[in-house]
Amino acid sequence: MSTMAAQPAIRLPVQTLALGAVCPGVVVGLASTALWWSRSAEAGQAAAIGSGIAVLSAIAWVVVMGILPARPASRWSLVLVLGSSARMMGSLAFALGCYLPLGLQEAPYWGSFLAAALATLVVETMVSISALKRAAQGAEDTNR
């Protein structure tokens, strides 16, 4: 009969998550805004607002993940998936709530929002998986 050793409770590496979640959105958002701004100032403004919403939602996600209590690495995976899903749905609702009354240009706004949000999601997922793998390996090493 085998017994499972209890995993130590860990906190997420908030600084690494912040870099992984916010920086890609900022970089892609700035590139997208510059591209649209070269066409017209109005398109550039719409792109800046769209990508800004994606970046603000990433910042909010990092803050929420940072205040959550420590838990075993095996329990963080579900929290991260649900948190990322909630962030994407919330940011989409916020983006729609800003788009409708402002009457911004459609393509620059949604294109920049989606590009920045996708870049954020991809890198935040990679950083989260890497952090959880390191924590799990550290727990295995201490149990040997």
- pLDDT confidence of residue 144: 52
pLDDT digit string (tens) for 11-54? 777 788 888 888 899 999 999 999 999 999 999 999 999 999 99
C-alpha to C-alpha distance for 108 and 50, rounded to whole angstroms: 8
- pLDDT confidence of residue 103: 85
Mean pLDDT computed over 89-94? 94
Q: Considering only residues 118 and 21, tell me which one the structure prediction assigns the higher pLDDT.
A: 118
Q: Looking at the whole model, is its pTM more than 0.85?
A: no
Both tokens of 60, joined, read 């909010």
Mean pLDDT computed over 77-100? 90
Counting Cβ atoms within 10 Å, is residue 131 exposed (0-12), middle (13-18) or buried (19+)?
buried
Q: How confident is the model at residue 80 (pLDDT cuts 50, 70, 90)?
A: confident
Both tokens of 121, joined, read 């999601």
Residue at token pair 């085998």: 2
pLDDT at 4 over 70: no
Q: How confident is the model at residue 117 (pLDDT cuts 50, 70, 90)?
A: very high
Cβ neighbours of 65 (radius 10 Å): 23
Nearest to 27 by CA among 68, 64, 55: 55
pLDDT at 5 over 70: no
Domain boundaries, the chain: 14-143
Both tokens of 107, joined, read 């393509």
